[in-house]
């Protein structure tokens, strides 16, 4: 499937509606991480340089439309105005912020645009119909422009009015960020240089059911860490103490272990684990830990990170890989004591010459937090979207874009 990119559109003099992902963390009115704004700049700057009028749409946080009082509080909290101010620091033209999502103020702002200028529209989730892909809302937004560009990879797995609906009314293409994401993830899953190693972590098996099965078919080695590892260990008949276990997925884990054997794939599980009496509270507080074999976790203790031997085992496996896809930390990486496993894997990825792809979400946060971001081939901006892709599912916000 080959989609049009922004290069394939005649944008000069046109009003181009661009769905970006400006869902950035804001505390006290200040943006604490501008990564998603920076990642959108190549597409925005390309349009500006080619004399387009650029109208940006993005969601920010969540808005509860069921409770009027909470709805107003959410709108106040998730106002896009600070984003407009930060964006203006990165572009060579003024950024006009429109504080509404429809009506005369928005229409006039777009109508009065000049070539090479930007309008940033208020949070799309101010609209109740956004998440429902309301046809009327999508048609209204589409009426504001001539072309549509999808460049919010973090949202393309959602069929919303601003991600899918608009594209049904306008000529459309993907932006440079989405193009890059699809290339890295697509090449890794469908045409990887081998050996291909998949690394899955995180809390629950249930969150990654299809990913585990799909990656087993695609990769040569699948490494399991994080909380989900204890469900696999339980499925092997091991005692896991009070560790997080997804009891409803025990049989599924047994099936995946059998599937790996049938396919001749390596499925690596922790051989030792870092344990403690309880989950850290606060999450980054001091905690007493020790490392024990995975088969010897005491009944009153819980596993919170892979152990030292496991970290070495996983690192050695990564060093011989040519392609690595990683989604999910190896332990409670937010705690310095329990970040050792995640750090060991990240360090191994940083040293390898393999193509290394980090699947967004907590994995991306861990790599950034541990200082290895610049050593990775690609860090996805969309945890949910990358998971959908790794599951082998379609992405509505990409599927809706015009074919070449």
- Which pLDDT belongs to residue 384? 83
Task: Return the pLDDT at 279.
Answer: 94
What share of the chain has pLDDT > 90, as a percent?
87
Q: Is 204 a catalytic residue?
A: yes
Record the pTM: 0.88
If asked whether residues 128 and 82 sit together in one domain, one would say yes
Comparing 98-102, 181-185, 247-251, 366-370, which segment has the lowest mean pLDDT?
366-370
CATH number assigned to the domain comprising residue 339: 3.40.50.1260
Q: Give the confidence band of 376 by pLDDT, cuts at 50, 70, 90.
A: very high
Please say which residue of 144, 177, 210 terminates a domain.
Answer: 177
**Residue pair 108/90 in contact by the 8 Å Cβ criterion:** no
Question: Do 212 and 163 lie in a common domain?
Answer: no
Residue 44: what pLDDT? 98
- Mark whether 76 is an active-site residue: no
Q: Residue 79 is part of which domain span?
A: 6-177
Average pLDDT on 276-292 reads 95
Nearest Cα neighbor of 321 from 360, 358, 348 is 348
| Radius of gyration of the chain from its Cα atoms, rounded to whole angstroms | 23
> How much is the average pLDDT of 297-305?
97
Known catalytic membership, residue 384: yes
Q: In this structure, are residues 177 and 39 in contact, taking their beta carbons and an 8 Å threshold? A: yes
Q: Which is the catalytic residue, given 225, 241, 331, 361?
A: 361
Q: Does the pLDDT value for residue 255 go beyond 60? A: yes
Structure tokens at 53: 């009028």
* 268 domain-assigned: yes
Provide the domain count of the chain.
2
**Has residue 402 been placed in a domain?**
no
Answer yes or no: do 324 and 307 share one domain: yes
pLDDT reading at 1 higher than 70: no
The verdict on 235 and 87 lying in the same domain is no
Q: How far apart are CA 161 and CA 133, in angstroms?
A: 4
- Does residue 309 form part of some domain? yes
Confidence of residue 203 (pLDDT cuts 50, 70, 90): confident
DSSP 8-state symbol, 232: H
How far apart (Å, rounded) are the C-alpha atoms in residues 233 and 368? 29
Angle of CA points 299, 305, 308, to nearest 5°:
105
Decide if 269 contacts 222 (C-beta within 8 A).
no
- CB-based burial of residue 115 (10 Å sphere; 0-12 exposed, 13-18 middle, 19+ buried)? middle
168/294 same-domain check:
no
Annotated catalytic residue within 4, 75, 204, 238: 204
The percentage of the chain sitting over the pLDDT mark of 70, rounded to a whole number, equals 100
Cα distances (angstroms) measured from residue 369 to each of 8, 279, 320, 379:
37, 21, 25, 13
Note whether 165 and 193 are same-domain residues. no
Q: Torsions phi, psi of 26, nearest 5?
A: -130, 130
Residue pair 159/363 in contact (Cβ under 8 Å)? The answer is: no
Q: Which of 36, 39, 53, 86 is catalytic?
A: 36
| The pLDDT of residue 261 | 97
Q: Assign 65 a pLDDT band (cuts: 50, 70, 90).
A: very high
41 belongs to a structural domain = yes
Of 27-31, 87-91, 181-185, which one has max mean pLDDT? 87-91
Q: How far apart are CA 233 and CA 223, in angstroms?
A: 13
Give dist(CA 148, CA 18) in Å, integer: 6
Given 61, 116, 384, 392, which residue is catalytic? Answer: 384
397 tagged catalytic: no
Q: What pLDDT was estimated at residue 363?
A: 85
Place of tokens 């970006």: 20
Q: 98 and 247 share a domain?
A: no
pLDDT at 268 over 90: yes
Q: pLDDT band for position 269 (50/70/90)?
A: very high
Question: Torsions phi, psi of 307, nearest 5?
Answer: -85, 180
Same domain, 327 and 189: yes
Q: What is the per-residue pLDDT for 64?
A: 96
Predicted local distance difference test score (pLDDT) of residue 389: 87
């Amino acid at each position: 499937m080959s989609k049009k990119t922004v290069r394939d559109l005649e944008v000069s003099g046109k009003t181009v509606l661009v769905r970006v992902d400006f869902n950035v963390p804001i505390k006290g009115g200040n943006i604490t991480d501008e990564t998603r704004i920076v990642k959108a700049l190549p597409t925005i700057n390309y349009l500006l340089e080619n004399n387009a009028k650029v109208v940006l749409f993005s969601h920010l946080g969540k808005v509860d439309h069921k409770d009027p009082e909470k709805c107003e509080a959410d709108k106040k909290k998730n106002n896009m105005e600070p984003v407009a101010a930060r964006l203006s620091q990165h572009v060579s033209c003024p950024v006009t912020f429109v504080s509404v999502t429809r009506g005369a103020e928005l229409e006039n702002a777009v109508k009065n645009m000049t070539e090479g200028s930007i309008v940033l529209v208020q949070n799309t989730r101010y609209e109740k119909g956004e998440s429902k892909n309301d046809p009327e809302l999508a048609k209204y937004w589409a009426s504001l422009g001539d072309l549509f560009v999808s460049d919010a990879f973090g949202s393309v797995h959602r069929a919303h009015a601003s991600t899918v609906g608009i594209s049904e009314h306008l000529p459309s293409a993907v932006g440079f960020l989405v193009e890059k994401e699809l290339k890295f993830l697509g090449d890794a899953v469908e045409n990887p240089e081998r050996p291909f190693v998949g690394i899955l972590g995180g809390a629950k098996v249930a969150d990654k059911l299809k990913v585990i099965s799909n990656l087993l078919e695609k990769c040569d080695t699948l490494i399991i860490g994080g909380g989900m590892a204890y469900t696999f260990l339980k499925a092997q008949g091991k005692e896991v103490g009070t560790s997080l276990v997804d009891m409803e997925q025990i049989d599924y884990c047994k099936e995946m272990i059998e599937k790996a054997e049938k396919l001749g794939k390596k499925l690596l599980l922790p051989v030792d684990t870092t344990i403690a009496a309880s989950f850290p509270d606060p999450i980054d507080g001091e905690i007493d830990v020790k490392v024990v074999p995975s088969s010897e976790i005491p009944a009153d203790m819980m596993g919170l990170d892979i152990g030292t031997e496991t970290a070495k085992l996983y690192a050695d496996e990564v060093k011989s890989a040519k392609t690595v896809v990683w989604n999910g930390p190896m332990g409670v990486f937010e705690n310095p004591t329990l970040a050792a496993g995640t750090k060991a894997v990240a360090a191994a990825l940083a040293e390898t010459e393999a193509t290394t792809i980090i699947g967004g979400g907590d994995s991306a946060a861990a790599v950034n937090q541990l200082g290895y971001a610049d050593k990775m081939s690609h860090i996805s901006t969309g945890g949910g979207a990358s998971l959908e892709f790794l599951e082998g599912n379609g992405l509505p916000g990409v599927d809706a874009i015009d074919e070449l």
